[in-house]
Amino acid sequence: MLSALGCSTGHVGDPKTGLSAGRRGGGSGDGAELGADGGAVVDGGAQSGPYVGSASAARRLSRAELDNTLSDLLGDDTAPASRLLAEDLFAPYDNDYPTQRASGALIDSLETLAANVAPRIAHDKTLRKKLVSCTPSSASDASCFSMVVQDFTRRAFRRPVTKTETDAYMSLLAFATESNDFYTGVELLIRSVLQDPEFLYRIERGTKTSDAQLFDLNDHELAVRLSYLLWGSTPDAALDADADAGHLHDAGMRVAIAKRMLEDPRARTQLHRFHAMWLGYRAIPQTPALAAAFSRETSALIDRVVFDEPQDYLNVFTFDQTYLDDTLADHYGLPRPSGGKGWVSYGKSGRAGILSQGAVLSAFGKFSDTSPTQRGIFVRTRLLCEQLMPPPPNVMADKPPAGSGNAVCKYDRYAEHRSNASCAGCHSLTDGIGFGLENYGLAGVYRTHDDGHPECTIAGKGEILGVGTFSGPAELGKLLVDQNLVQACIVQQFLRFAIGRAPEGNELDALSALSDDFGAAKHELAKLILSYIESDAFARRLEPK
Amino acid sequence: MRKTKINRRTVLRGLGGAVVALPLLDCMLNEHGTAFAQSTSALPKRYAIVFAGQALGGDDYAHDQQKVNGTNLTQAGHYIVPPQSGAGYDITTPLRPLAKLQNDFTLVSGMRIPYSLTSADPADVPPGGAFRDFHGGGASPLLSGMRSVTSNFTARGITSDQVIANLNQGQTALPSIVLRAQPSFYLSGYSFAGRHRMSFAGDNDPIEAQDSPATAYQSIFGNFMPSDAAARAAFDFNQRARRSVLDLITSKRKRVLDSVGAADRARLQRHFDEIRDLETRISQMPMSGGACARPADPGVDPGIGGDNAGSGSDVIATSTGYSGEHERARVMADLIHMAFVCDLTRAATLQITTFQSHMNVFPLASYLDSPVALSREIRADLHEVGHNGDAEFRGQLPVSLMLQWHLSHYAYLIDKLKSTSEGAGTLLDSSALVFMPEAGHGRHLNSPSDTAPRTHSVEDMVLLVAGSAGGLKPGKHVATSGAHPAQCLLSAMQGAGFAGDTLGEVTGSLPELFG
């Protein structure tokens, strides 16, 4: 029986070349097996030519962004959006706005959300201090309510508000008077603002430039871009003050502010989230305890390489230490750290870098086991940004390959992927990579033979076709770095996350420039982020014709 | 019966002057309880689809073959389709929850969605047919009678429930109710990508389902006035507050839309339109008369389970991949029942599990009524049950038990409607309720030259139609020879008042359902 990853080699770029038209599929690997989302694509698309700005469309806050925002804005740490709204469609990032679509169900759920959050905040003496700085003299204290309205709408809409706008909310004071409770007015204010598109969406207007299609974003809009990119949340008071002072449209000052924001713990959390979605380990098939331990391990590596000891980001693929506690060390069969938790050297274990870690090795399994094909797809689509076409319809990919005769060992069961020419075209691109990681099981534990089959010794030899051979994650990581295969893709993944959809048109042209900057900056990830933030393109939006 | 002068055409003025149809009250019926008093028009007809994201059998196992408790077992009676047709057939394992309701539904078997045996080219998909990739390819023809030409999960035309919703446009407070019990995809690294949609207003124009029982309860019954005075005052206050809160948003619609670029405008306009729709629905509905009553508040939703730890028997965990779908489906069935009683809507869909559902079936063990004692729980996700995910439980019986679990919710809804009197009969008399599994069991759609029976098949499909709306005559097994499932849907739709004879590219209902 065929179990195939189908694709036409014509759709897969040569891994050795740089970006090309054939490699525009950054992160769309999900489509390779599970099909693209049927949601309407709203965006008009970017255009070819120099990268002067990205076309955009109002992006609705994802559940995670909404929860972060509610936490920062109101002190609500109960993650109500994740409890009450429908799942985001990850593609692979949660902020992919073409997958978002307003619906009656969403509107109902948002009313539920607002009705859930507002009373918990408004009628809690401690929590409401974030909103109400005055002491109301009566239930219908208009001046106090007006202060609350002005302050809250300013922060929630993430821009200055006019008196006409804030005056409208004074009508809610009638409900406070009727119920003889000032905080009923506050509750309804929250309820209204939380259902307001100007809160739920990031709306960018900007000022038209001499080019009719190009708009300069204003300082507050730039503050919002910065905060949702770097923190996945709303601007704080310091950033608001910078926007009010007009600092953000100046590229140099913008970078200085962004550097300050990267010092904030929220920047780390956001970068962890980005990696988890990019590398597919945001939800892995492990117990919650093991998944959490894996996540701590991987986050520690990201923190060290990006923040604590800023260095060549590509080191995440070759790093010779990992952060473990005793339990995780035992799990891997690595030496325990001194003091119960800490950095442990990989030594000659054959492991190095993020590809050795349980989080990444747990992702992209299939049939309750590692899948050489899926791991190959992972490397091709997520790390090399290649696009693989889905299997041709006449093959079935929902059962493990059986192989011919009485094949038992996995390598033999996958033989047809190699021997049948119609399979091999694509599987030679993927399976070769996956078999080089086969010694590392679905939970990241080293194994010498197939699970349950001692007679099936795993050779563990892998190959990136046309690039070179390797054995195990340390050698794979080294190969990817030495052959300069991942630099451009990292930039592409970052840009996709930043603009909320796959780069296209002039954005693809910009990737090579950004990628050059990344190389020139010795691949420091923070510098890549800052050079993007510094660019004119970050500070503008494009209105398609 | 108490008679007062309320005309069915009476509409309720909401606080902002919006018009809302009244719930159906006994006092609106004629002396015989067979029609509306004022207009003598017939009682409303209701249409619902209950969907199960699974097939009818397991991969490579014949209908009398299974592995149970680790041992191969040849035993018939577990496949849903009985050997007899007509009335009085043997109740098979999946149908056990429906045993007492055998005269209230028709089992329609032997259906198939057409496809090309020789070509996988999209251009060769026949009308109403399936693109030769099961996951995605089967959805559009099943739901809308329109052929699929890609493996995207979507419908390329209006779905049957929305045809009925359009038929009753303006007659009820809600055009349709679209609910889904499975709130999460559960497959690590992936998201629904369309598998969670089964109701479409038109080509690739989905009606998103509500997956929260609590929010569904509020959105369907939140406008019903409580009976006691104190609660009524609070209700009145809250309804006015809701409207004022939304007024503040809708009043800025033009200003916001005028200030943004074209792409933003399109997206935000859609959002504002939906808010306006919500605001229009805010009203104060009287709640008196007969069986129409606000159902019990379902309370806080069951928690969302995390992604599955593994998909097969040796690794699947007990606690992940499940969000209380059993309880969620029950509440949703209760809501649909009462929405029908009160005539708040006449079209409903309940997607218990999604297409290609990866829900963990481990937690369902206590709900299964197995004729063969099971030595332990079945351990796999729903999709893998069909693909032999549990080494000890494979083939027909485990798949049938999952189907039985889905059918238990369908039976629950039928039973509730049957137990509710309306006019001279019961609510079931004016209902057409479809049960729709995702797949049949037969030749693999992707690889039809391979003739071993597969789950990924649009051959030998089955639908159930309960109720006797519009002259439907339930209580039998109708074995077709390759009818299109949309023909069966057409029969149910006609029972629910649809005058046409075409759904998508499929024409001709099945007369046996009326005879």
**Has residue B4 been placed in a domain?**
no
User: Are both A146 and A286 inside the same structural domain?
Assistant: no
Q: How many residue pairs bridge chain A and chain B with CB atoms within 8 Å of each other?
A: 244
Looking at residue A389, its pLDDT comes to 80
Range of the domain at A178: 63-201
pLDDT for the residue numbered B21? 57
| Nearest-by-CA chain B residue for A37 | B193
Answer whether residue B250 is part of any domain.
no
> A273: distance to nearest CA of chain B, Å?
13
User: Distance from B179 to chain A by nearest Cα, in Å?
Assistant: 9
Shortest Cα distance, chain A CAs vs residue B259, angstroms? 7
pLDDT at B379 over 80: yes
Tell me the helices (H) and strands (E) count for chain B, helix number first.
Answer: 11, 18
Q: A256 burial class (0-12, 13-18, 19+ CB within 10 angstroms)?
A: middle
Shortest Cα–Cα distance, A309 to chain B (Å)? 30
CATH number of B310's domain: 3.40.720.10
Instruction: Supply A450's token pair.
Output: 């197939």
Average pLDDT of the segment spanning B486-515: 98
For residue A244, give the DSSP letter. Answer: H
Q: How far apart are CA B20 and CA A354, in angstroms?
A: 59
Cβ–Cβ of B193/A40 closer than 8 Å?
Answer: no
β-sheet bridge partners, residue A341: A325
- Chain A neighbors of B264, CB-CB under 8 A: 56-58, 201, 203-204
Domain boundary among A201, A228, A261: A201
CA distance A396 to chain B (A): 6
Total count of domains within chain A: 2
- The helix (run of H) or strand (run of E) holding residue A463 is strand A462-464
Q: How far is B218 from chain A (nearest CA, A)?
A: 8
Q: What is the ipTM of this complex?
A: 0.92
Contacts of B313 (CB under 8 A, 6+ apart): B379, B380, B389, B390, B391, B392, B393
Please give the pLDDT value at position A513: 84
Q: Are residues A283 and A170 in the same domain?
A: no
Q: What stretches of B228-352 show up as alpha helix (H) in DSSP?
A: 229-250, 253-259, 262-281, 325-341
Per-residue pLDDT of chain A (545 residues; tens, 9 = 90+): 333 444 433 333 333 323 233 333 333 333 333 333 333 333 444 455 677 888 888 999 999 999 999 999 999 999 999 999 999 998 899 999 999 999 999 999 999 999 999 999 999 999 999 999 999 999 999 999 999 999 999 999 999 999 999 999 999 999 999 999 999 999 999 999 999 999 999 999 999 999 989 999 999 999 999 999 999 999 999 999 999 999 999 999 999 999 999 999 999 999 999 999 999 998 887 888 898 999 999 999 999 999 999 999 999 999 999 999 999 999 999 999 999 999 999 999 999 999 999 999 998 887 678 899 999 999 999 999 999 887 777 676 767 787 777 889 999 999 989 988 888 988 999 999 999 999 999 899 999 999 999 999 999 999 999 999 999 999 999 999 999 999 999 999 999 999 999 998 888 878 888 888 899 999 999 999 999 999 999 999 998 87
A52 part of a folded domain: no
Q: Tell me which chain B residue has its CA closest to the CA of residue A89.
A: B191
Structural domain range at position B425? 42-215+302-513
Task: Verify whether the Cβ–Cβ distance A283 to B178 is below 8 Å.
Answer: no
Q: Alpha-carbon distance A190 to A488, whole Å? A: 44
Asked if residue B283 belongs to a domain, the reply is: no
**Reported pTM:** 0.91
Q: Are residues A455 and A311 in the same domain?
A: yes
Q: Cα B70 vs. chain centroid, distance in angstroms?
A: 34
Task: Kindly state the helix (H) or strand (E) to which residue B208 belongs, with its residue range.
Answer: none
Are A287 and A165 in the same domain?
no
Q: Specify whether A170 is located in the same domain as A291.
A: no
Would you say residue A407 lies in a domain?
yes
Chain B residues in contact with A79 (beta carbon < 8 A): none
- Final residue of a structural domain among A186, A201, A216: A201
A197 plus A283 within the same structural domain: no
**Domain presence at residue B31:** no
The C-alpha torsion from A156 through A161 and A164 to A170, rounded to 10°, is: 30
Residue B41 tokens read as 């028009």
B34 within some domain: no
| Interface probe, candidates A112, A360, A543, chain B, greatest B C-beta count within 10 A | A112
Encoding tokens for residue B103?
Answer: 């005269």
User: From the list A35, A38, A200, which residue is nearest B204 (CB)?
Assistant: A38
One-letter amino acid for residue B22 of the chain: L
Is B20 part of any domain? no
- Please check whether residues A177 and A283 belong to one and the same domain: no
Record: contact B132-A393, CB cut-off 8 A? yes
Choose the mutation target among B191, B249, B320 for the interface with A, i.e. most A CBs under 10 Å.
B191
- Among chain A residues, the shortest Cα distance to B181 is held by A86
The reported pLDDT for the residue numbered B18 is 45
Residue ranges of alpha helices (H) inside A158-202 are: 163-168, 173-179, 182-194, 197-200
Confidence grade of residue B76 (pLDDT, cut at 50, 70, 90): very high
pLDDT in tens, A97-145: 999 999 999 999 999 999 999 999 999 999 999 999 999 999 999 999 9
CB contact under 8 A, A102 and B270: yes
The number of folded domains in chain B is: 1
pLDDT value of residue B285: 84
CB contact under 8 A, A87 and B214: no
Chain A hits for B181, Cβ within 8 Å? none
Regarding whether A197 and A275 lie in a shared domain, the answer is: no
Gap from A522 CA to chain B (nearest CA, Å): 31
Model confidence over B256-265: pLDDT tens digits? Answer: 999 999 989 9
Residues in chain B: 515
Question: pLDDT by residue (tens digit) across B103-123?
Answer: 999 999 999 999 999 999 999
Asked if residue B355 lies in contact with residue B202, where contact means CB atoms within 8 angstroms, the answer is no
Q: Which residue has the higher pLDDT, A134 or B319?
A: A134
Residue appearing with tokens 């792409």: B263
Q: Which of B136, B153, B271 sits opposite A102 (nearest CB)?
A: B271
Report the DSSP beta bridge partners of residue B331. none
In a domain, A386, yes or no: yes
A422 and A321 within one domain: yes
Residues A366 and A460 in one domain: yes
Domain boundary among A458, A482, A506: A482
- DSSP at A86: P
Report CB contact under 8 Å: B237, A392.
no
DSSP structure string for B422-462: ETTEEGGGGEEEEEEES--SBS-SS-TT--S-BSS--SSEE
Indicate whether A316 belongs to any domain.
yes
Q: In the 8-state DSSP scheme, what is residue A88?
A: P
Partner-chain residue, chosen from B59, B262, B446, that has the shortest CB–CB distance to A394: B446
Section B157-177 average pLDDT: 96
**Residue in B242, B244, B306 nearest the CB of A171:** B244
Q: CB–CB of B268 and A196 under 8 A?
A: no
Q: Running DSSP on this structure, what letter comes out for residue B421?
A: E
Q: Are residues A279 and A415 in the same domain?
A: yes
Output the CA torsion sign for A186, A191, A194, A197.
Answer: negative
Residue A42 lies in a domain: no
Shortest Cα distance, chain B CAs vs residue A163, angstroms: 14
Residue A264 belongs to a domain: no
Do residue A296 and residue A155 come from a single domain? no
Element (H, E) at A420: none
Query: CA B487, CA A347: separation in Å to the nearest integer?
Result: 67
pLDDT in tens, B222-232: 999 888 889 99
In a domain, A387, yes or no: yes
- Kindly list the residues from chain B whose CB atom is less than 8 angstroms away from the CB atom of residue A37: 191-194
Cβ-nearest to B278 among A87, A101, A111 = A111
